[in-house]
């Protein structure tokens, strides 16, 4: 599972596909978890991407 900001959505999708060879599932980060950070930079994560 990857948390990422808007800027790194495509990178996150690519990483999930590369690592898991599965269809990525793409969700908004719930408001109560909005202090999570992007895996690729220091922005607040807005999306959660997991392997389907």
Considering only residues 7 through 26, tell me which ones interact with Zn ion, judged by CB under 5 A: 7-8
Determine the Cα angle at 42 with ends 41 and 44, to 5°: 110
CB of 36 to Zn ion, least distance (A): 11
Min separation Cβ 19 and Zn ion, Å: 18
Cβ-based nearer residue to Zn ion, 23 or 41? 41
Which stretches of the chain bind Zn ion, using CB under 5 A? Answer: 5, 7-8, 38, 40-41, 43
């Amino acid at each position: 599972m990857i948390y990422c900001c808007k800027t790194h959505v495509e990178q996150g999708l690519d990483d999930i596909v590369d690592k898991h060879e599965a269809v990525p599932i793409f969700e908004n980060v719930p408001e109560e978890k909005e202090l999570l950070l992007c895996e690729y930079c220091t922005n607040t994560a807005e999306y959660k991407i997991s392997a389907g």
